[in-house]
Amino acid sequence: MKLVGIAGSVADKSYNRLLLKYIAREFKDVVDLDVLDINDVPLFNQSDDQTDSPAVQAISNKILAADGVIIATPEHNHTITASLKSLIEWLSFNIHPMSGKPVMIVGASYYDQGSSRAQLNLRQILESPGVDAIVMPGNEFLLANVKTVFDENDNLKDDRTVSFLKETLGKFTKFVKVINKMNEKEDPGWQSEDLESHGKVETTVEGVDMHAADWVEKAAEKTNAAEGDDYVKLDRGLLTVNQLNYFLNSMPIELTYADANNQFIYYNHFLEAKDMLAARTPGQAGNPMADCHPKRAIPHVQQVIHMLRTGQTDMFRLPVPGMGPDKYVMHYYKAMHDAKGEYKGINELVLDIMPIVQYYLKHTGQMLVKDPDADTDAVSGASTNTKPEKTDAVSGASADTEPEKPATAEPEKPDEVSGASANS
């Protein structure tokens, strides 16, 4: 279980940080606790938005990726520290990474009270709508008189305190599971993938007919798109649009961009459709993906897109036979994401890997032989020169058989999937 620990103090010496580090060490077989530093988080100011500062973003991303959060708070002036409150304000202003997150509060203090009021106060703050965390009820862990409770190795001395902490942490791990179960979103399922692209994403060009053969020209005009010698700043480099085209069109791979709205918006157009491994025509660019696939292939395409969109897999591989024994054509469907991990569409790469295999064999003095122990049904054609008798992974483009029902139980193994080429 992945947890992040936040010590509510920016002071060099903090018993609350010490307590979290102790928990991380002592209970490492129970939880994987990453103790974060809040020292670089600026004081919250709503008229100087620093949500995107590295310090705030780093903490937010770690919280988002964690199963739960443990906050250790000191008590200043009957309440939590301004530094902790400031962090919480950033995390409730324009971003809300704590929303629905299970939280356990602990606190250490120099005096007998052990941060009792700060803890109550922190509960109230965490449960406000902007923060929207889910704080574990009860189980208050108040560590008083901190000066005397740690030994020289920064371990808690008192066995009863340790066993209470262990018990509390054990309850929290269960609490985390329950809350995260409660938070699980209903997956709308692969059927929700709209290949007619009725939705829209921030890059969707509205008011241009997606089905039109001159979609590229119309959409370029509408968006005042860069072209020719216009420069484009890239990660990492600077090219003109022409240079970008030289570059992409010299790739020995057929590339296709389908956006998060399932719209086919680009392919590197360096071959005529008849010469391509996966045929595309210039007029298809801009089409909803439904236009590019035969009806019978649609459910399988939906399944693959949904797997990529929901992160069940980052790349889906599919050999597509049917191009003759000298070719082994692979379709790779790679999910694309922005810096925040948001799904941005699919990069489909189509290439014949046989020249690569042949080159390798020739230059290393090897040959392909049949593996007698192989348990795969999908056999390489080229070296054996036998026609594969049966294959699990069949291309949509070439398969003219009626497809079976979509394999809903095992979407990672659709019987038939194809790319934009499958309109034959």
The token duo for 268 is 């590197």
Our CB check for another protein shows the closer of 113 and 398 to be 113
Find the distance separating the first CA and the last CA of the chain, reported in whole Å: 49
Kindly tell me the number of DSSP H helices and DSSP E strands found in the chain.
Answer: 9, 15
Bond preceding residue 17 cis, omega within 30 of 0: no
Q: Which of 182, 184, 176 is nearest to 310 (CA)?
A: 184
Residue 157 contacts residue 149 (beta carbons within 8 Å): yes
- The reply on whether position 303 binds another protein by CB under 8 A is no
CB contact at 8 A, 414 and 303: yes
Minimum CB–partner distance for residue 173 and another protein (Å): 27
Among 2, 45, 230, 370, binds another protein (CB under 8 A): 45
Our finding on whether 82 is near another protein (CB under 8 A) is yes
Sign, Cα dihedral of 304, 307, 308, 309 = positive
Among positions 2, 28, 78, 340, the unique one binding another protein when judged by CB under 8 A: 78
The reply to whether 147 sits near another protein by the rule CB under 8 A is: yes
Residues 4, 19, 27, 44: which binds another protein (CB under 8 A)?
44
**Binding to another protein by residue 83, rule CB under 8 A?**
yes
47 binds another protein (CB under 8 A): yes
Nearest residue (CB) to another protein, 115 versus 287: 115
Choose which of 59, 103, 125, 394 interacts with another protein (CB under 8 A).
125
Interface pattern 98-117 for another protein (x via CB under 8 A): -----------xx------x
- Tell me if 10 contacts another protein by CB under 8 A: yes
Q: Is 85 in the site for another protein (CB under 8 A)?
A: yes
- Which of 75, 76, 79, 83 lies closest to 6 in space, CA to CA? 83
Q: What is the DSSP string of 300-314?
A: HHHHHHHHHHTTS-S
d(CA 207, CA 216): 13
Does 94 sit near another protein (CB under 8 A)? no
Closest separation in Å from C-beta 119 to another protein: 13
| C-beta closer to another protein: residue 117 or 334 | 117
Residue 370 has a CB neighbour count (10 Å cut-off) of 10
Alpha-carbon distance 96 to 100, whole Å?
A: 9
Q: Per-residue b/e over 275-312, b at no fewer than 16 CB within 10 Å?
A: ebbbbbbeebbbbbbbbbbbeebbbbbbbbbbbbbbeb
Q: Residue 95 or residue 354: which is nearer to another protein going by CB?
A: 95
Q: Which is nearer to another protein, 17 or 327 (CB)?
A: 17
Q: Which one of residues 25, 42, 362, 386 is an interface residue with another protein (CB under 8 A)?
A: 42
- In the complex, minimum distance from the CB of residue 92 to another protein, in angstroms, rounded to a whole number: 5
Length of the chain: 424
Question: Quick check: 77 binds another protein (CB under 8 A)?
Answer: yes
Is residue 256 within the footprint of another protein (CB under 8 A)? no
Residue with tokens 């941060």: 115
Residue closer to another protein, measured from CB, 144 or 353: 144
The bridge status of strand 102-108 relative to strand 237-240 is: unpaired
Structural contact between residues 32 and 2, judged by C-beta atoms closer than 8 angstroms? yes
Q: Is 20 in the site for another protein (CB under 8 A)?
A: no
Positions in the binding site for another protein (CB under 8 A): 9-15, 42-47, 74-83, 85-86, 88-89, 92, 109-110, 117, 121, 124-125, 127-128, 130-131, 146-147
